[in-house]
Amino acid sequence: MSIYLDNAATTFPKPSQVTEAVERTLRENSANPGRGGHHMSLDAGRMVMECRESLARFFAITDASRIAFTANATEAINLGLFGALSPGDRVVTTSMEHNAVVRPLRALSDQGVNVVRVAADALGLVDPLAIREACVPGTRLVIMTHCSNVSGTLQAIEEVGPWCREQGILFMVDAAQSAGVFPIDVEEMAIDLLAVPGHKSLLGPTGTGFLYVRKGLDLKPLLYGGTGNFSQSAIQPTEMPERLESGTLNTIGLAGLKAGVEFLEKLGLDHVHAHEQELLRQLIEGLQEIDNVILYGPLGSARHGGALSFNVKNIDPSMLGFRLDREYGICCRVGLHCAPEAHGSIGTLPEGTVRLSPGYFNTADDINQTLAAIRTIVATEK
């Protein structure tokens, strides 16, 4: 029996309600939403709208039409960055970003966008004051991850967003590791652009995600094409969400995403977060008792999310991860986690780390078995 501790990559297992919603939609109604007047198309469109409304409620978004569905958070990030920025614009970001942010910004810098990075400390924390100081006049946008996929470090976006709003600077948040773990209120946090995956802590299927775009902010589309309405025009619609949603939506996936969000709402985010934090505490305390283990991130702090990185002196992280999987059936992730700049910040280049990320369906026994396996491997590698 496997122990799955790679929830920072994608959550597993999914709630039974998600599986049932996907299967039911596939069997009974996977018609094309918004592409016909017959009852099956209308039913599919109604389900998509209900998913949009569930997400709006979950993230305190007042207008559900400002949610544009995407295949994942990476697409949402690209949609926001390429849609909002033009040559000559200035962007402030951090050294803790995933390649989903780093690589689009690199491409934009080649097109004339000025990208400035604010360095994090060894715990992966970025000082909000340092971001303010980097935002000289003329800065167009600040983009930052809410929670690191490497160190689990939770950034103070609740301080950065309102300040950016006062300065007239757009604020974009990569919530890949925080959505469904920590409360996010786009109004209170003054978030203009929010990129969210559906397949991580929102417990939906892969192939789902969205970008929230604040009302009054118009983005250039990444894709142009059929939207199901305004078919007589060769010009892309200006209305949201159609402006940013060309082509057939992932109706089956969105049915699962809707079920995942409703599952979280029924449980309560506080309950889910408390369970995952208890597992993380158990994991941290157990690892601290093992010889030669090095832990990363703000341990024992409210500023630590679900991903925990560690290394063992004189043991290659790839070897440790391989043995955990092969000998004990424990699924984790090793290496650079698509975030080399974050590893540079916490001092784990070039080998990276072993990353363990518990999820809602993990148990205390899973953690105990994992700790026992690590103890055995460390003892045999001496």
CATH number for the domain harbouring residue 245? 3.40.640.10
Sequence-distant (≥ 6) Cβ neighbours of residue 100 within 8 angstroms: 73, 74, 77, 78, 174, 176, 338
Query: Are 140 and 276 part of one and the same domain?
Result: no
- Look at residues 237, 267, 297 and tell me which one is the last residue of a structural domain: 267
Query: Are 192 and 253 part of one and the same domain?
Result: yes
CATH number of domain containing 301: 3.90.1150.10
Query: Are 257 and 292 part of one and the same domain?
Result: no
Query: Are 64 and 116 part of one and the same domain?
Result: yes
DSSP classification of residue 341: H
Query: Are 231 and 337 part of one and the same domain?
Result: no
Structural domain for 330, as ranges: 3-12+268-381
Sequence-distant (≥ 6) Cβ neighbours of residue 244 within 8 angstroms: 68, 79, 83, 211, 213, 219, 221, 222, 223
Alpha carbon of 262 to those of 66, 80, 132, 343, 374: distances in Å? 20, 26, 37, 35, 36
**pLDDT at 231 exceeding the cut of 90:** no
- Look at residues 267, 288, 319 and tell me which one is the last residue of a structural domain: 267
Which pLDDT band holds residue 41 (cuts at 50, 70, 90)?
confident
Q: Give the phi and the psi of residue 187 in degrees, each rounded to 5.
A: -80, -50
Query: Are 125 and 235 part of one and the same domain?
Result: yes
In whole angstroms, give the CA distance from residue 51 to residue 182. Answer: 20
Residues facing residue 174 across a β-bridge: 145, 195
Query: Are 235 and 289 part of one and the same domain?
Result: no
Asked if residues 279 and 358 have their Cβ atoms less than 8 Å apart, the reply is yes
Sign of the Cα pseudo-torsion (119, 123, 125, 127, in order): negative
Query: Are 276 and 174 part of one and the same domain?
Result: no
Instruction: Please count the structural domains in the chain.
Output: 2
**Least confident piece of the model among 241-250, 297-306, 347-356:** 297-306
Asked if residues 255 and 22 have their Cβ atoms less than 8 Å apart, the reply is yes
In whole angstroms, give the CA distance from residue 201 to residue 166. Answer: 31
In whole angstroms, give the CA distance from residue 259 to residue 151. Answer: 29
Query: Are 261 and 304 part of one and the same domain?
Result: no
**pLDDT at 306 exceeding the cut of 90:** no
Query: What's the confidence (pLDDT) of residue 31?
Result: 86
Query: Are 240 and 358 part of one and the same domain?
Result: no
Query: Are 307 and 198 part of one and the same domain?
Result: no
- Look at residues 221, 246, 267 and tell me which one is the last residue of a structural domain: 267
Percent of the chain whose pLDDT exceeds 90: 90
Asked if residues 238 and 218 have their Cβ atoms less than 8 Å apart, the reply is yes
Query: Are 254 and 350 part of one and the same domain?
Result: no
Nearest to 198 by CA among 186, 190, 188, 206: 206
**Least confident piece of the model among 105-109, 133-137, 199-203, 237-241:** 237-241
